[in-house]
Structure 1
Amino acid sequence: MPSVSRRRTHIAMVGIPAVSHVLPSLEIIRELVARGHRVTYANDPAVAELIAGTGAELVPNKSELPVADNDWPDDPIAAMGLFLDDAIRTLPRLRATYDHDPADLYLYDIGAYAARALAESQQRPVLQLSPAFVAWEGYDGEVAANLWQLPGADAYRAKFARWLADCGAVTSDVDTFSGRPANTLALITRAMQPHADRVDTDTVTFVGPCFDLRASAANWTRPATAEHVLLISLGSAYTRQPEFYRQCLRAYGDLPGWHVVLQIGKYTDPRELGDIPPNVEVHSWVPQREILEQADAFVTHAGMGGCGEGLLAGVPMIAVPQAAEQFMNADRLVELGVARRIDTPQATAETLRAALHDLVGDAAVARRSARLRADALAEGGTARAVDLIENMLSDKTIRPT
């Protein structure tokens, strides 16, 4: 899609400091800067290094969300309350910056409620960048209604409504404000969206995962002796799983023809794993996308980012979900015919090895993986997302609703 406008504008991105929420849109920010726009990015200094690489100007916006130690409450209403409290605290700080330097367009992550409130109060266009699946027709009755029956839900909704009434937002309905934006770019492939046929495409556009597909593989090189490569990664948050990693070493260590890359995150000491087989390399962090482009299979926690990277690479996956929507994502990968789900208690060396042999030896899985890769690439990714953002900037009829 050709861009309608190339004029230099001020675009503000407002995010939360969870890596899984920052990474999906970084290439969009980088491309906006490359096209000559001035981009400011309001987020916690904890993710400043990630943002710096895009060329955007960091607007420090300290968050109290428990992303550093991953200490989220089990109660979903309590977890939702943390996001609301964070919005209440951060909105005055955003105003301190943007009331005298307003953006022409506000972009925001699904957890950054304060951005939408700010944009509405300034009567500026606003666009949500969703790194996860979006609501569908019937979502309120099928999913949200169950949440609103939980203890504490009434108090949460009342607090949210009071904040909306006091903060200058135009939208007063809690469900509409938090779950039904007028303009959303879904940064996931449509294949991963539940009930995709019931998503309102007048307000949601699926652009697919927005990664840098031009990135060089120089950050990791497939060993010349490797017949097959397996990547194992539980992402950035739920990585304190030494026993799972030991089972992986038993399953895939010294497996003939296989080279294994094991990412263990920052919460696990490599010494907890015992002896490392010679065909395994262990790291706290790896260039996941670059490795997947050279890999033959992927053991993943089924976070949406990992699912997107796996589908873009066209590799079969073993999904070992750890929390939240990852269980739903894992089931969706199985439905698509490109994965096996193994829950952590059942992730023994025997089940892990059997799943790998089952997947890589199945020609139908390979065909489905190739088709889904082509579908994901056809959604347009970063270039299409930025074209749509520029088109929105040039459309004088769009207003926050």
Structure 2
Amino acid sequence: MTPAPPAHFAMFSIAAHGHVNPSLDVVRELVARGHRVSYAIPAPFAEKVAETGATPVVYASTLPTDDDPDAWGTELIDHVEPFLNDAVQALPQLAKAFEEDVPDLVLHDITAYPAPVLAHTWGVPALSLWPNLVPWEGYEEEVAEPMFAELKASPRGKAYYARFEAWLAEHGVDTPPDRLIARPRRALVLIPRALQPHADRVDESVYTFVGACQGARAGQGEWRRPAGAERVVLVSLGSSFTKRPEFYRACAEAFRTLPDWHVVLQIGRFVDAAELGDLPGNVEVHSWVSQLAILRQADVFVTHAGAGGSQEGLATATPMVAVPQAVDQFGNAEVLQALGVARHLPMEDVTPERLREAVLALVDDPEVARRAARIQADMAQEGGTRRAADLIEAELDRGPRRG
């Protein structure tokens, strides 16, 4: 395959691990191929972006961060309105930053609303890097319309959509807000097809599944199984909804009487290890761990079933106990259970006894191991990072190149 001539790509995302992390290995690969990547990102993630070889283009954001998950509020409008507010104030910053350095192609996370607007203004193609499940044919009627009906009928919802439409029209974009977000011109899906509900109804002329783009992640550190640990379970609720000391205590208690099991507890930044009280000797506690390094050796993964964690569990063929916390995690938990490689255990049902029962049932079932190995093999065929980079380079042929 003839290498693509060097190009300038501009990637846009928000300050959230679940939206930045899936793109990083793809960006690293593009840089390794000789391309220049400018990555628009708020300051807290600039260093992580720079490590890929991309140039961080720092902009000020008004979105709540992973440090303050409670700031998102409790109603649906509280979860969608901040993205529009942020886009309106970020667009002038980003337009100015790229004024003298317009890219050949725009790459963007699904939450980066200014990106397709800027691509339209610049007359360059845009490609969405999709970090979670995508809409299928019939999704609007089956899911979106019932979910948003009350919002669209409310005064606050009507004002939100009117403002969104006016903002798009101001910049010459005639795409309705819902389609701008959920129906891009072209998208690379950075999750395995196995995680996608109704995958047979997804329009693959728009959405191409490239699977997990994880990379080696050697820079995140290594982990070694302790001597005498016959089985290892990793417990992690991700980076946002981690303020759950009672849950971590239950996980520790579940294995107090099973000394041949070793428990790795990742408790996040919002819980102090002292809050967990007297822990068994077979439990180690960290605010953060090198998750993929542990999963490569673990026997079970107790996870919130976020898109990133779910696909890491599948990629390492690790059976999972899914304890979802928010948004798409509930759907992911159901998909994992339907695949036969996980148990869905709602948070309100978690007790040491039920958790232990779920874990032991998974590791004692040879069918679970067989299914997990098959999915792992299927994922390896999806192409991952290299295929994503190939497809991004192919998009350059669809639009004019800049000198």
TM band (smaller chain) = over 0.9
- For 1:73-88, list aligned pairs within 5 A: 73-88=73-88
Other-structure match for 1:308: 311
Distance 2:366 2:260 in 1: 19
Give per-residue Cα distances to partners, 1:246-298, cap 9 Å, x unaligned. Answer: 00110023523211111000000000001222211110000101110111110
Q: CA deviation at 1:5?
A: 3.8
Give per-residue Cα distances to partners, 1:208-235, cap 9 Å, x unaligned. Answer: 1110147489611122322111110000
Give, as a single letter, the amino acid of the residue that structure 1 aligns with 2:370: R
Is contact 1:28-1:386 (8 Å) kept?
Answer: yes
Other-structure match for 1:65: 63
Give, as a single letter, the amino acid of the residue that structure 2 aligns with 1:7: P
Q: Which runs of 5+ in 1 are unaligned?
A: none
| C-alpha RMSD of the superposition | 1.6
- Residue identity (%): 51
Q: From the superposition, tell whether residues 375 and 109 of structure 1 become closer, same or farther in structure 2 (CA, over 3 Å).
A: same
Is contact 1:5-1:393 (8 Å) kept?
Answer: no
Other-structure match for 1:16: 14
Is contact 2:221-2:290 (8 Å) kept?
Answer: no
Distance 2:217 2:235 in 1: 23
The partner residue of 1:361 within 359, 364, 388 is: 364
2:155 is the alignment partner of 1:156 = no
Distance 1:217 1:362 in 2: 32
Give per-residue Cα distances to partners, 1:99-157, cap 9 Å, x unaligned. Answer: 22101111000100101100011110110001111111111111221213323332222
Q: CA deviation at 1:343?
A: 1.1
Is contact 2:124-2:400 (8 Å) kept?
Answer: no
- For 1:235-384, list aligned pairs within 5 A: 235-384=238-387
Q: Secondary structure at the match of 2:5?
A: coil
Give, as a single letter, the amino acid of the residue that structure 2 aligns with 1:355: A
Is contact 1:44-1:61 (8 Å) kept?
Answer: yes
Range with greater deviation from structure 2 (378-387 or 219-228): 219-228
Distance 1:116 1:216 in 2: 32
Is contact 2:223-2:293 (8 Å) kept?
Answer: yes
TM-score normalized with structure 2 length: 0.95
Is contact 2:259-2:282 (8 Å) kept?
Answer: no
Distance 2:175 2:11 in 1: 23
Q: CA deviation at 1:236?
A: 0.3
Distance 1:148 1:73 in 2: 19
Q: CA deviation at 1:168?
A: 3.4
Distance 2:277 2:178 in 1: 50
Is contact 2:104-2:400 (8 Å) kept?
Answer: no
Q: From the superposition, tell whether residues 217 and 235 of structure 1 become closer, same or farther in structure 2 (CA, over 3 Å).
A: closer
Q: CA deviation at 1:28?
A: 0.5
Residue-pair matches, total: 395
Is contact 2:106-2:115 (8 Å) kept?
Answer: yes
Other-structure match for 1:40: 38
Give, as a single letter, the amino acid of the residue that structure 2 aligns with 1:275: D
- For 1:198-237, list aligned pairs within 5 A: 198-213=201-216, 215=218, 219-237=222-240
Give, as a single letter, the amino acid of the residue that structure 2 aligns with 1:135: P
Over 6 Å off, 4+ runs: none
Q: From the superposition, tell whether residues 393 and 361 of structure 1 become closer, same or farther in structure 2 (CA, over 3 Å).
A: same
Is contact 1:230-1:258 (8 Å) kept?
Answer: yes
Is contact 2:186-2:207 (8 Å) kept?
Answer: yes
Give, as a single letter, the amino acid of the residue that structure 2 aligns with 1:30: R
Give, as a single letter, the amino acid of the residue that structure 2 aligns with 1:312: A
Distance 2:77 2:144 in 1: 11
